[in-house]
């Protein structure tokens, strides 16, 4: 405990924490993409083979890192096992061997980008770039036209993708939105229309939550963010009581809230929304407790919380990065101590390098359960393991036996039809299953209870577009 309290403070534990800015020097945001891989000092020290493999994989999957992540988060004495290294650096096994070999041959032959493009496109297309019907099924309509920068899947919550926020300070190798970062314009659902957003919300009085997402909305300048959020104070949007901002900036660029030129402006905006009576929830993505250990991250957390915004946390469970109960236990304990509220443990989605990161559902549940048993009730607010699948968010509640049949007990924590939420249902136990379509109904059922209705819903929606 004492060690943690001490780590909260930048230099000396006994210094005045009310004027902490003085202790943190601004840092220039220096970023590297796959074209600059060779220029990263720490990468230069890796073997020729490792560098070649990274170069190959980063032709297909997005790569972007900045020097805060390189210098402060990665332990370069523990490569390749360091969890933050695996979180941002491409690894050979992230591509299927045949895909890797194909792209490697082109890289080795120094092929032109025109020669590479069709191969890379084919490999990307084989990686299910659009999981969970993101393109079609969730499109909201305004004046009979689809709104491409938004998704409305669950009744209460609208997702908004501001066009200036469609990158991140660094990319995660497992990101389920990876396709939008590799330049495929079709795959980018972004909107620059604050006005359309506000009109849509005004017409949908059932919506209580706006979730601003990306990319990372926190890459935006404060004045852009203000353009989208300030308008929510209007009386006709009083029903939108909760504003969530999904972000990994506390991991990848905490300077955003401490020393960046408009750090104070962004905090002032959050405070204004809180003062206007909104619940502002900063949905922070943390995969590992290590991301929360730096003094600058602790200070960013302190400053966000001082605005009256809540910080809730979520992350997928990932093979090679956080697939053990110790990591989750320590992560949730740290979060609770810092005043953050654990919210979701996700199952890695069926896209991109899923085969590299996936964890069998039964193992995910065991890790969740073991970590839960070791934390106090304050950390048991995290739900999961949850699959964000086509019909909704499905949680694995556990494994049990009914009439001699071993089954998974499941429930919807969100459903396309709100009536599905909180109904327990059962799937045949399968120790290799990693995603919803791997599961088969148990106890003699032909279909899961929601399936017929979901198929009908899908037909109806797709007919509208
Ligand atoms: C998870 C999610 C939400 C939010 O659901 P909550 O249960 O309210 O956190 C909204 N839209 C989509 C598409 C989601 O995946």
Ligand 1 centroid to residue 158 C-alpha, Å: 8
Q: Tell me: cis bond preceding 291? Omega within 30 of 0 counts.
A: no
Ligand 1 centroid to residue 295 C-alpha, Å: 31
The pLDDT mean for the chain works out to 92
pLDDT of residue 78: 96
User: pLDDT (tens digit, 9 = 90+) per residue, 357-415?
Assistant: 999 999 999 999 999 999 999 999 999 999 999 999 999 999 999 999 999 999 999 99
Closest ligand 1 atom to Cα of 388? 15
Least confident interval from 162-166, 217-221, 461-465: 461-465
Instruction: Please indicate whether residue 372 or residue 464 has the higher confidence score (pLDDT).
Output: 372
Rounded CA-CA distance 391/456 in Å is: 12
pLDDT of residue 69: 98
Atom 13 of ligand 1, nearest CA residue: 153
pLDDT of residue 182: 86
Atom 7 of ligand 1, nearest CA residue: 414
Ligand 1 centroid to residue 370 C-alpha, Å: 25
Task: Give the model's confidence band at 460: pLDDT under 50 very low, under 70 low, under 90 confident, else very high.
Answer: confident
Task: Give the model's confidence band at 457: pLDDT under 50 very low, under 70 low, under 90 confident, else very high.
Answer: confident
Residue 439 has pLDDT above 70, yes or no: yes
pLDDT of residue 2: 37
Helices (H) and strands (E) in the chain, counts: 16, 15
Instruction: Work out whether the CA dihedral 80, 84, 86, 90 comes out positive or negative.
Output: negative
Ligand 1 centroid to residue 302 C-alpha, Å: 26
Q: What percent of the chain has pLDDT over 90?
A: 83
pLDDT of residue 183: 72
Atom 12 of ligand 1, nearest CA residue: 153
Element (H, E) at 464: helix 451-464
Residue 17 has pLDDT above 50, yes or no: no
pLDDT of residue 131: 81
Residue 114 has pLDDT above 80, yes or no: yes
From residue 240, alpha-carbon distances to 81, 200, 209, 229, 267 in Å are: 43, 11, 6, 11, 20
Task: Give the model's confidence band at 465: pLDDT under 50 very low, under 70 low, under 90 confident, else very high.
Answer: low
pTM: 0.92
Atom 6 of ligand 1, nearest CA residue: 414
Q: At CA 98, angle to CA 324 and CA 47, rounded to 5?
A: 65
pLDDT, average across residues 45-49? 96
pLDDT, average across residues 327-354? 96
Ligand 1 centroid to residue 414 C-alpha, Å: 7
The two tokens of residue 96 are 């299927």
Closest ligand 1 atom to Cα of 134? 13
Closest ligand 1 atom to Cα of 151? 13
Q: What percent of the chain has pLDDT over 70?
A: 92
Least confident interval from 133-147, 153-167, 305-319: 133-147
Ligand 1 centroid to residue 154 C-alpha, Å: 7
Closest ligand 1 atom to Cα of 343? 9
Ligand 1 centroid to residue 349 C-alpha, Å: 14
User: pLDDT (tens digit, 9 = 90+) per residue, 64-94?
Assistant: 999 999 999 999 999 999 999 999 999 999 9
Give the other-Cβ count within 10 Å of 52's Cβ.
Answer: 14
* Residue ranges in 142-283 assigned as alpha helix (H): 194-203, 222-229, 249-252, 263-275
Query: Residues near ligand 1 with C-beta < 6 Å?
Result: 151, 153-154, 157, 159, 211, 388, 393, 413-414
Ligand 1 centroid to residue 312 C-alpha, Å: 13
Closest ligand 1 atom to Cα of 153? 13
Task: Give the model's confidence band at 4: pLDDT under 50 very low, under 70 low, under 90 confident, else very high.
Answer: very low
Residue 18 has pLDDT above 50, yes or no: no
User: pLDDT (tens digit, 9 = 90+) per residue, 146-199?
Assistant: 888 899 999 999 999 998 888 999 999 999 888 888 875 544 555 568 999 999
Ligand 1 centroid to residue 115 C-alpha, Å: 40
pLDDT of residue 464: 65
Tell me the angle at which helices 263-275 and 295-306 cross, rounded to the nearest 10 degrees: 30
Residue 13 has pLDDT above 80, yes or no: no
Ligand 1 site-directed mutation target among 414, 420, 421, 461, most atoms within 8 Å of CB: 414
Atom 15 of ligand 1, nearest CA residue: 388
pLDDT of residue 137: 79
Ligand 1 centroid to residue 173 C-alpha, Å: 22
Of 334, 340, 342, 321, the closest CA to residue 289 belongs to: 334
pLDDT of residue 133: 59
Atom 4 of ligand 1, nearest CA residue: 157
Cα 344 from chain centroid (whole Å): 11
The two tokens of residue 18 are 């009310």
């Amino acid at each position: 405990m004492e060690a943690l309290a001490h780590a909260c403070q930048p230099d000396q534990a006994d210094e005045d924490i009310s004027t902490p800015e003085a202790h943190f020097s601004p840092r220039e945001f220096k970023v590297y993409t796959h074209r600059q891989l060779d220029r990263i000092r720490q990468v230069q020290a890796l073997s020729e083979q490792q560098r070649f493999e990274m170069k190959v994989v980063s032709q297909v999957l997005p790569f972007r890192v900045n020097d805060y992540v390189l210098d402060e988060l990665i332990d370069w004495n523990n490569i390749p096992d360091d969890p933050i290294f695996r979180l941002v650096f491409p690894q050979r096994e992230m591509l299927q061997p045949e895909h890797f070999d194909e792209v490697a041959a082109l890289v080795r032959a120094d092929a032109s980008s025109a020669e590479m493009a069709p191969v890379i496109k084919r490999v990307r297309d084989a990686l299910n770039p659009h999981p969970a019907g993101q393109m079609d099924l969730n499109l909201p309509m305004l004046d009979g036209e689809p709104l491409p920068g938004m998704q409305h899947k669950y009744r209460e919550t609208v997702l908004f993708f501001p066009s200036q926020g469609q990158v991140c300070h660094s990319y995660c190798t497992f990101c389920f939105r990876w396709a939008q970062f590799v330049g495929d314009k079709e795959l980018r659902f972004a909107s620059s229309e604050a006005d359309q957003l506000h009109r849509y919300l005004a017409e949908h009085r059932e919506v209580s939550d706006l979730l601003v997402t990306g990319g990372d909305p926190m890459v935006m300048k404060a004045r852009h963010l203000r353009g989208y959020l300030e308008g929510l104070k209007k009386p006709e949007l009083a029903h939108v009581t909760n504003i969530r901002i999904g972000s990994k900036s506390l991991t990848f660029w905490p300077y955003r809230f401490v020393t960046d030129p408009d750090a104070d402006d962004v905090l002032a905006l959050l405070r204004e929304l809180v003062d206007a009576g909104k619940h502002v929830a900063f949905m922070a993505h943390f995969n590992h407790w290590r991301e929360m250990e730096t003094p600058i991250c602790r200070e960013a957390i302190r400053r966000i919380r001082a605005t009256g915004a809540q910080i809730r946390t979520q992350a997928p469970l990932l093979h090679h990065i956080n697939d053990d109960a110790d990591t989750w236990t320590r992560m949730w304990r740290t979060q609770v101590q810092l005043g953050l509220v654990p919210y979701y443990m996700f199952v890695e989605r069926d896209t991109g390098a899923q085969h590299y990161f996936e964890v069998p559902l039964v193992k995910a549940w065991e890790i969740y359960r073991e970590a839960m048993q070791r934390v106090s009730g304050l950390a048991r607010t995290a739900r999961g393991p949850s699959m964000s699948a086509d019909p909704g968010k499905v949680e694995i509640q556990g494994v049990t036996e009914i009439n001699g049949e071993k089954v998974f007990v499941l429930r919807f924590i969100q459903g396309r039809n709100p009536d599905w939420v909180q109904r327990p249902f059962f799937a045949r136990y399968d120790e290799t299953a990693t995603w919803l379509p791997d599961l088969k109904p148990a106890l003699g059922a032909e279909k899961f209870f929601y399936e017929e209705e979901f198929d009908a819903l899908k037909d109806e929606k797709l007919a509208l577009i």
